[in-house]
A = this chain, B = another copy of it.
Amino acid sequence: EYPHVLLAHGGGGRLMHQLIDAIASTFASAELARRHDGAALRIGDMRLAFTTDAFVVQPLFFPGGDIGKLAVCGTVNDLAMCGARPLYLSVSFILEEGLSMETLGRVVASMQAAAHEAGVEIVTGDTKVVDRGKGDGIFISTAGIGVIEHDRPIGPEAVRPGDAVLLSGDIGRHGIAIMAVREGLAFETEITSDCAPLAAPVLKLLEAGVAVHCLRDLTRGGLAAALVEIAQTAGLHIQLDEAAIPVRPEVQSACELLGIDPLYVANEGRFVAFVPEAEAERALSILQTEPVSADARVIGHVTADGPAGLVTLRTAIGTTRVLDLLSGEQLPRIC
């Protein structure tokens, strides 16, 4: 259908899903078919999670973070979304000839600080250099290993009718922080990325024995794409309450200015958790004890009687809107 790769193929929308489907069908792995944030592997009598992400964000530094912090948190968070305790990271750099060593040094220091904060160790790496004009300063791929210390299956396939959908905090800050730098926008209140490690609140939920069914961090494609993917894979209906979804006023204004919908804006320190309705209150109070998820709340429910595979939003003015994947993306190279 598309003879060439478009920017939209990396944008977290429908085109990206089609491309990944084509790639993953060639790789033909049962773990890949789950389309979760990482793979859950059994090696010997251990359960391990394994995941990877590449980071190509521009600019390299932005309010609230930089490509190095993003590369560590991104992989830590995908491990956490597998219900794993993140342990070890690999880091591979693709440097463009001419990159300033000072910039590289700042990125490396930021990665080490983020790894320390998240309690993971960077144990192996690689460094390649490409000719000037064949890269863009620095690209980073991280992969990570975590240990799964429980027998719970966590993923879209474990979502059940009646589950409550919990959101860990306000949305849209990462994408808007990047966009503001790129477009040279200045707001009264500086908008900083939400980029942060998410393992602590997730592990607290699991250690407390909450029957977590599914977890997902809200990266490319934002809250909307994450929930649409889960609804489709689970074959269930998710009903959301717009009024319950926190968006800071400055993010709301920026979105209006830029003509984009905060529901589709990337985050790097936010996640959703699906838990049985009966455990929602307890789960919330656990999440609220961690600073990164202090503002957690219930934003919707999974229903058996609604249209299967769809996400619907009850808007503030009482109408209902179907959330779909965008075809491409709003903001390229956001992570």
Contacts and interface: CB of A to CB of B under 8 A. Distances in A.
A258 interface: no
Contacts of A87: 41, 43
Contact of A5 (B7, B23, B99): B99
Contact of A141 (B3, B44, B54, B99): B54
A292 interface: no
Contacts of A139: 94, 130, 139
A10 B135 contact: no
A123 B5 contact: no
B50 A5 contact: no
Interface residues of A, number: 82
A5 B104 contact: yes
Interface in A205-261: none
Contacts of A109: 26
B52 A3 contact: no
A4 B127 contact: no
A92 B53 contact: yes
Interface stretch (A31-39, A156-164, A317-325): A31-39
Contacts of A19: 127
A267 interface: no
Nearest to A131: B7
Contact of A108 (B27, B99, B127): B27
A10 B27 CA distance: 30
A7 B128 CA distance: 9
A136 interface: yes
A141 B101 CA distance: 22
Copies in the complex: 2
Nearest to A335: B128
Interface string A160-184: 0000000000000000000000000
A50 B124 contact: yes
A97 interface: yes
A69 interface: no
A103 B122 CA distance: 33
B50 A145 contact: yes
A45 B45 CA distance: 9
Interface in A25-67: 26-29, 31-32, 38-39, 41, 43-46, 48, 50-56
Contacts of A108: 22-23, 26-27
Interface in A113-140: 115, 121-131, 133-136, 139
Which 7 A-B residue pairs are closest in the complex by CB-CB distance? A10-B129, A143-B143, A141-B141, A52-B90, A39-B123, A134-B136, A31-B123
5 contacts: A4-B100, A5-B96, A5-B129, A54-B93, A54-B126
